[in-house]
Structure 1
């Protein structure tokens, strides 16, 4: 759940402002290397580059942009560090383990006598770090000049490029790790001042891309075959506050560009509670859209108001609950992920018990649990620490509580639409996600990568579910007016097939009421009847089993009509007979042909058996 960029001259969209401090390059020959050890110095663009990325999806997007520019210039990108002529490490400063892994990799590159460029948050936020001595570094706002830095480093120079005035353009060359997924940075930096966070030291204050530049990028990647678009930033909810717009304005503009056939779906990135509280209804409406995942990552970090105040998180546990309860109430099948930091300085046993209580109450399907690590230069690093043994024990206890949940229990037998975008690490399964962003593993040909399809859920695990690909008739697809099975397909498109939120129609029982409530809903902490939603992963199990020996088309239509026909999902016997007659009348010629073949085969088998009986008896 997990869930960005400067060229001299034109390219950066307006409104992207950063203080310009210094750009420097100091020629310095590598002390431990001879010139003959450096390959192809006189032919730039012929070398092989190994890129290693640590951290969030924002960092992954940065690496993809750097790989794209290097590839466009002729450099080869190789996943094998031993075969590479230069290593490029894109770093993360959020946690100590990530930085420790970076330091280990730097030592390995020096031992292997490989030219090295270090990019990302660590050099940007800690440029005087001892481990960075003697290596080239490039900051988070200068990735569009990575070719220059690589060229000079291959010549034996040490380059330090850390400060620029604008962000790079979004249309730079890009080599995606997953060709079907576009990680789209919508802003950099944040407006918060969390006492434990080092990222703001690197990414800086909020800087947002314009709505126009982001919409243009969406059009570009959709035309290039992208099937998932991830909006990424340090805080998605803060988008636009520096340029006079907000997140709902951006989301509505992007959704209007999504294909009406639902072949491309949008995922909204991590957002902190303070900046979405005032936009909950608008964001809920977007999350209900059939082209948007009903999923959101909202970090809480602690269940104690005392700890949240010490963290300077700028919200209370009650306000976090308002966010979760409101989205659960207004968005069918809503899935929410959150983060917890165990052992923050000053956290008592009572504070930690409040965190346990919060996680048990909501039973989140995804919780990212971290032990507190003091980051140099942050206020929290100077606070009195909780003993390390206590921190580890709390982390283990919370992990045990979280792993006891069964968030996908009851999904067996349901029909879900999924978007398939990758192959599992075992090479056997393809990986797709439901509209609620539940991971589904299916055995299917790799030609299905980059497609959306329907699956029947066959079994569930702790972290994902398993499904079989099935075929749904065209007249049951979104836009045809019918309701599909499972929460992932409650909402149809408008009658003209467009994906605009204003025209999205709501169907099926209380789902229409939920949509209508979005415009008038008043936020309240006294939202009730949520326990079933939390236990069942945010949705009801409308379809628990499939009967054999009937046409799938007839079964889907019959169950839909049963569900819509009454509140408890049952109809009268006479009504069922009428429905069967109507569905039989709608059989296609192929259906009748298949039935005829089956009847003829049965008759032939019976005749053969009778003839055999008479022959045996007569002899």
Structure 2
């Protein structure tokens, strides 16, 4: 009798994805994780396995944020000795900075194994295997979209909230932004495909979905329906009975914002009364130099119309200080618009040169000291406004979707955290018994007792607590995974007829 040798099983290779940048990058990283899971890799959890080095590290990069290049190459430098000590370890670099720098990355950091761009995320597993086989760096960057990201499998980072891309790319030419040259022209998904992905998430227990696009309200440009985004918002309302409780979107462009979107927000029960609409500057002269195709009066009229339809709407924004040529009078115009808009919060940036953008070569670059002084004044003005707006909510009941990782001091204060329907951050008190029962993904109602510029505190007893399927999934430690949802990029000829959603027709970040 011959004894068969025991089969030696090769342990699965582990991976870690490090993400920089905007919501687009975060969602792309979910796609990257889904691809690697599907290829047999296992995500390394640093908390569960501290000190272990992953077999593959993927950097998903940003080219917009300040010092993006230095941050990437600094981290690559830190990884070089780690890789030298771990034969077989691989490093991959993708995202916007990879699309911009292309072959320069492996010249500056020859220990990198794979470089891939924004248009070919789906190639990553093949490129990693090819690099191992050939023992040579693989650089593959396409100039146009290979497959729409939503055709790829996804490992979602949250059991209760999910991103859904409705478009990629951008048709604008803002002089401070390099995104259009890295992400390409706008490509829109068909409404039926978007709704199919949303429905798949809801089936997994997800309660909240954020519709994502560089300019979400230009959605429909490819298939000739300028009202498509409002129709899409209304169509998500049909999924409320299946468990979709909150719908958000980011980011619209003021120049393309239409009244039908306001009406859809106000009339669709699960669409949250929250609007993130980038201002960038309150000066018409600066907006003109930025090639932002709206002016301050147009922006303020949108704010007025939104508040007329939804008095409780929380409006947030993006603002750049110190754009080339900005004068003291221009900056005062920004402060004026900020005061009139009464923002709930704002993402603020000091302008800095981004190579490859028209603004980088403009004359009259504003001195750093002047930019800093204006920036400090803007922050002070915003904090005064956001604090005053938050104080109006003291004594009111708020509905909170319990989150994980929102409150850094929760353990010390005995509070938990989450987001109200209008997007505000809420820290709420729980008794020891409640702390064991309330889970991320559950819904609580509580009363605001204190307001700060950037958050609300609720220190009284909970009004109510509702357990949800999303909370069940979190408690079970179950990652939300969705398969790729087919896109249907525009083709020649009449598209196939899409079934209309039950009860009605289905029909950025700057």
TM-score with structure 1 setting the length: 0.66
Q: Matches of 1:69 and 1:272 in 2, distance apart?
A: 32
| Structure 1 pair 473–315 and aligned structure 2 pair: CA distance change class (3 A) | closer
The reply on whether 1:285 has 2:264 as its aligned counterpart is: yes
Equivalent of 1:434 in 393, 416, 420: 420
- Contact 2:202–2:242 (CA<8 Å) still a contact in 1? no
Other structure's SS at 1:96 match: coil
Q: Structure 1 residue 149 and structure 2 residue 131: aligned?
A: no
Find out whether 1:457 has 2:426 as its counterpart: no
Out of 36, 49, 58, which is 1:88 matched to? 58
Deviation, structure 1 residue 249: 1.9
RMSD (Å), alpha carbons:
2.6
The answer to whether the 8 A contact 1:144-1:168 is kept is no
2:181 maps to 1:201: yes
- The one of 89, 94, 99 equivalent to 2:69 is 99
Q: Tell whether 2:150 aligns with 1:170.
A: yes
* 8 Å contact kept, 2:31–2:154: yes
What does the per-residue CA deviation read over 1:453-485, in whole Å, with 9 as the maximum and x for residues that have no partner?
3112222222111224534599xxxxxxxxxxx
- Could you tell me which residue of structure 2 aligns to residue 574 of structure 1? none
Alpha-carbon deviation of 1:128?
A: 4.4
Q: Report the equivalent of 1:367.
A: 346
Equivalent residue, structure 1, for 2:384: 404
Shift of 1:258: 2.6
The count of corresponding residues between Structure 1 and Structure 2 is 435
* Corresponding residue of 2:308: 329
Q: Is the 8 A contact 2:252 2:276 kept in 1?
A: yes
Q: Which residue does 1:239 correspond to in 2?
A: 219
1:162-206: per-residue Cα shift (whole Å, max 9, x none)?
Answer: 215543362533222222111111101112100110111111111
Relative to structure 1, the CA distance from residue 105 to residue 210 in structure 2 (aligned partners, 3 Å threshold; closer, same or farther) is: same
Q: Which residue of 1 aligns with 2:318?
A: 339
Equivalent position to 1:139, from 108, 117, 120: 117
Name structure 1 gaps, 5 residues minimum.
1-41, 475-497, 503-619
Aligned equivalent of 1:223: 203
**Other structure's SS at 2:77 match:** helix
Q: Is the Cα contact below 8 Å between 2:12 and 2:40 reproduced in 1?
A: yes
Contact 2:98 2:105 survives alignment (8 Å): no
> For residue 169 of structure 2, what is the aligned residue in structure 1?
189
The 1:499/1:212 distance shift into structure 2, 3 A limit, reads closer
Contact 2:170 2:185 in 1 (8 A): yes
Contact residue 217 and residue 229 of structure 2 kept, 8 A: yes
Relative to the length of structure 2, the TM-score reads 0.79
Within 1, Cα distance between the matches of 2:347 and 2:465? 39
Aligned-pair CA distance for 1:232: 1.1
The question of whether the paired residues in 2 share the 8 Å contact of 1:294 and 1:436 is answered with yes
| Secondary structure class of the residue paired with 2:154 | coil
Q: Determine if contact 2:442/2:465 at 8 Å carries over to the other structure.
A: no
Whether the aligned pair in 2 keeps the contact of 1:271 and 1:298 (CA below 8 Å) is yes
Q: Note the residue ranges of structure 2 that are not aligned, 5 or more in a row.
A: 1-7, 84-88, 467-500, 506-510
User: What does residue 29 of structure 1 align with?
Assistant: none
> Per the alignment, in what secondary structure is the counterpart of residue 222 of structure 1?
helix
Worse-matched range after superposition: 312-321 or 408-417: 408-417
| Residues 237 and 269 in structure 2, CA contact (< 8 A), matched pair in contact too | no
User: Tell me, what secondary structure is at the counterpart of 1:52?
Assistant: strand
**242, 247, 253: which one pairs with 1:272?**
253
**After the TM superposition, which residues 339-358 of structure 1 pair with which residues of structure 2 at under 5 Å, given as runs?**
339-358=318-337
Matches within 5 A, 1:607-618: none
- Identify the match of residue 241 of structure 2 among 224, 240, 259: 259
Contact 1:287/1:295 (8 A) holds in 2? no
Measured after TM superposition, the shift of residue 274 of structure 1 is 0.9
* Greater RCO (CA < 8 Å, at least 6 residues apart): 2
Cα shift at 1:239: 1.1
Q: Which residue of 2 aligns with 1:294?
A: 273
Equivalence for 1:425: 408
How much has 1:82 moved relative to structure 2? 5.6
**Partner Cα distance (1:43, 1:116) in 2:** 24
